[in-house]
């Protein structure tokens, strides 16, 4: 297997962060977690990631606003990082809604961890 891929998990729920870390650890992903979109942008200043799992509803800066800020970054590599939305409000959004704001895909809450893992794989190894 090639080198471990880096995943940034942006989620304000510690329970979901811990479960996600445990699931992704089975595939040897290197996981970093933050609690809001502002922290995502701060992490991106100094670190590189292969995929971002982005909660839509977070304090300080929500996932949609954060995604738009990432897509506007001058660093072309960072501005194109695959972003997978995580949302419990899936009835209010369609995949097209997420794509329009710059996200690549989404996984609904409660999380199906098999689907989460396969979705992360799909984008981490593109």
Instruction: For 58-113, write each residue's pLDDT tens digit.
Output: 999 999 999 999 999 999 999 999 999 998 865 677 788 889 999 999 998 888 88
- What does the mean pLDDT of the chain come to? 91
Q: For residue 108, what pLDDT is reported?
A: 87
Per the listing, tokens 């992903």 go with 29
- Whether 1 has a pLDDT exceeding 70, the answer reads no
Q: Which of 53, 50, 48, 58 minimizes the C-alpha distance to 13?
A: 58
Reported as type and span, the H/E element at residue 34 is strand 30-34
pLDDT at 97: 86
């Amino acid at each position: 297997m090639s080198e471990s891929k880096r995943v940034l998990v942006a989620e304000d729920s510690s329970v979901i962060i811990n479960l996600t870390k445990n699931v992704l650890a089975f595939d040897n992903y290197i996981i970093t977690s933050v609690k809001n979109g502002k922290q995502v942008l701060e992490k991106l200043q100094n670190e590189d990631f292969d995929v971002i799992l982005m909660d839509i509803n977070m304090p300080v800066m929500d996932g949609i606003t954060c995604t738009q800020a990432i897509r506007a970054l001058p660093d072309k590599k960072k501005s194109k990082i695959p972003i997978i939305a995580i949302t419990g409000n899936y009835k209010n959004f369609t995949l097209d809604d997420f794509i329009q704001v710059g996200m690549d895909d989404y996984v609904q809450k409660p999380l199906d961890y098999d689907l989460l893992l396969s979705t992360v794989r799909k984008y981490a190894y593109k």
